[in-house]
Amino acid sequence: MGKDGVPAIPYLWKGPAQVLKKTFKLLDADGSGTISDDEGYAAGRALHAGSVDAGRKYWDTMKGNLDADGSGTIEMEEYINVQVRYFMENGLEPTPTMGALQEAYNKLEEGHARQMQQGTPRNDPPPAKAPSETPAAE
Ligand SMILES: [Ca+2]
């Protein structure tokens, strides 16, 4: 598996980067080292009380922002670096940001547990039509 160090991250952002790393591992349900659409949609559902539409919208937006190299899947470094860069560029403070990230992590974990309990089938039927068009960003 991957490299452990994330060299681009300044010291102040190590904490948030660690939470992002944990979150990535939660998102990467099959441990493949990348987040696929299925995994991203599942996470979106977990964060939006099981709503398929909201989950899909969430991940499509996230992926649009995170997939720096356009590979169609999200690697751990991409996931961490893009978000930390975003926080830095927007002048966010590391400590409260880490709190917010931790909260999202908890919610995600809780949502995953809930989905397990409800016995959500892993073999969801494929979407009727692929969401190929991205919302116009104007
Ligand atoms: Ca994966």
Q: Reply yes or no on whether the pLDDT at 5 is more than 70.
A: no
- Pair 12, 93: CB distance under 8 Å: no
Residue ranges of domains in the chain, CATH in brackets:
11-117 (1.10.238.10)
Q: Reply yes or no on whether the pLDDT at 121 is more than 70.
A: no
pLDDT for res 124: 55
| Amino acid occupying residue 69 | D
Residues with CB under 5 A from ligand 1 (ion): 28, 30, 32
- Give pLDDT tens digits for 20-54: 999 999 999 999 999 999 999 999 998 888 899 99
Pairing of strands 34-35, 74-75: antiparallel
Q: Give the burial string for 22-46 (b: 16+ CB within 10 Å, else e).
A: ebbebbbeeeeebbbbebbbbbbbb
Q: Reply yes or no on whether the pLDDT at 7 is more than 60.
A: no
pLDDT for res 129: 57
Maximum Cα–Cα distance for the chain, whole Å?
A: 46
CA of 59 to the centre of ligand 1 (A): 14
- Give pLDDT tens digits for 57-114: 999 999 999 987 888 899 999 999 999 999 999 999 999 999 999 999 999 999 888 8
CA of 31 to the centre of ligand 1 (A): 5
How many whole angstroms separate alpha carbon 26 and alpha carbon 108?
A: 8
CA of 21 to the centre of ligand 1 (A): 14
